[in-house]
Each structure stands twice: as C-alpha cells, then as structure tokens.
Amino acid sequence: MHIQLITDGGADIPERLDDALDIMVVPLYLYFRDEEFKTNLTMDSAAFHRRMAETHEVPRSSAPSPNDFYEAYKRVSLETPIIMLSISKGLSVTYENAVMAKNMLLKEEPDRQIEVINSKTASCGLGLLLHEAKKKIDENYSFEKLVDHLYKRVEQTSTLFVLKTLENLILGGRLDRVRGTIAKTLNIKPLMRASDEGYIEVTERVRGDKKSIRRFVEQIGEHTKNFENKIITMTHYNAEDRAKKVLADIREKYPFKDVHLTEMGPLIATYAGEGGLVISFFKN
C-alpha cells in the first residue's frame, strides 16, 4: 500500500533516506531583514552559512501557513493516505497549521485519509521517525497500523543536543547578552534534550568542549540499551569532521546497528549555531 509521507522544514533528512522515499517537505520561512526565504528551497545550508557569515544576523522564522499545507495535501492523489510528521508542537505553530489544513481539506473531500502527528522532536528526530515509517511501509503496514505505531515511536524517541557556541542564541535574543557573555567567558557548553512534551530543556551545563562532548556521549547509555537493534541519527551545523569523530566515539561505546548523518538545514542551524550537534534514537 502506498502511503504519502509529508514533513516540514524542521526535519533534517539523510540523503540516502530521502532518495529511498518520496517525502514531501513543506518549507518553513526564514527572514533576513526584509528578505524572505523558504528552508531548503530558496535557501539551503550552504547559502545559510554564507548569509550568517556576511551579516552576523540570526534570521526570524515562521511556520508554513495552513494554505501551504492545504496545497501540499491537494497534490496527493485522493486514493493515497497521507501521514504528516510535524516538528514539535512545543517549538512551532506548524503542527496546528497542518491540522487546520487537514480539516479544511476534509470538508471538501471527507473520504481522505490524513493523519497529522506531533513528533515532539525536530531535526534528525524527524529523520529517525521517517526512517521508521519507511521500514514499516516496506513491511506492508496498513495506514491505521502505521499511524498507531508512529504515535508509540514518538513517545520512545530521545533527542539530545550539544552546542559548541552560544553566539546564535545571544544574537537571536534567546539568551540575554549579559548571561551569554558570562557563559562564554566561563566556556560553558549547554547539554539539552527534547522533553516528553516536546520542548527544549537544558539538562546540564558543562565547562569545556571536550567535557561536554564526553557527557553528550555518556548520556546515550542513560536513555537506551540493546543498541545492536537500533539506528542513531545525527545532524551537525557546518562541522562534518567534528560530527564524524563524535559518531566514532559513540559507535565505539555503543554498537548501534546503523547510523544516519546529515547536515542541519537552515531552520535548526539558526538555533544550534556553528558546531552544534543533535542526535536521536529510540529508547525502547
């Protein structure tokens, strides 16, 4: 059974997964002053790096409109069920807009099968859930069975973050300049995670990059086990060598079955800053 998977610009999808799946992506919007860009359409990762280096400005972001989602749903054949995996409701109104579009379309076409799922994660966490969806589609899961399975997997997803710099948080006003300057002076690196409700929370503050990476890796074993049956996904912001080294440390300590590594798209990079890393895996 063909099921159309849709996600949004908050997802970072590994190339080999993107090649294997016909995933529709509804972009979010980024604004550098008065210029509007669509994530991964009119602004990719390379263009984002250049703009950040030129302007030292963190862009504003906004969610796709209900009409953006409506138009995406309409492009899917009436007979094809749709599963829309959204960036966490705790981070954006994207989920609400996707649901609003679903309701708009169902008024016109009540026989449509559409499920909008709040992933409670972002970046490679969405990549992990899309990988899981592909696996189950290949196992001939029905639409209903796949929806139920993905809701369970959302609750089993761990997403962990480590930042190398606080610069983007300061520039974007998410960390006031005084506290940011103190943290930079003390070389403080925050470790964060997606909470059970899908918000980003700081779990630890570690002094020094090496110590923060060591704790970043150690935390994995506090969240999951039975690694041989699981994959881990990772994204990085303009730091491929750093990401590969950390992944090698992870695989030496935890023998995950497979790894998906990709660069962050512009939306997540806006918050993570240069050298930021995100990992996702299933707890169970």
Task: Give the position of tokens 């649901």.
Answer: 99
Nearest CA among 77, 66, 78, 84 for reference residue 24:
84
pLDDT at 281: 97
CA distance 4 to 137: 10
Q: Quote the crossing angle between the two packed helices 124-138 and 143-155, to the nearest 10°.
A: 150
pLDDT at 72: 97
CA distance 213 to 31: 32
Burial 159-190 (b: 16+ CB within 10 A, else e): bbbbbbbbbbbbbbeebeeeebeebeeeebbb
pLDDT at 84: 98
pLDDT at 1: 67
**Identity of the residue numbered 240:** E
Structural tokens at position 266: 């512009």
Nearest CA among 209, 263, 203 for reference residue 233:
263
Low-confidence ranges of the chain (pLDDT < 70): 1, 18, 165-187
Domains contained in the chain, CATH given: 4-155 (3.40.50.10170), 157-282 (3.30.1180.10)
Task: Kindly tell me the burial class for residue 216, based on how many C-beta atoms sit within 10 Å of its own C-beta (0-12, 13-18, 19 or more).
Answer: buried
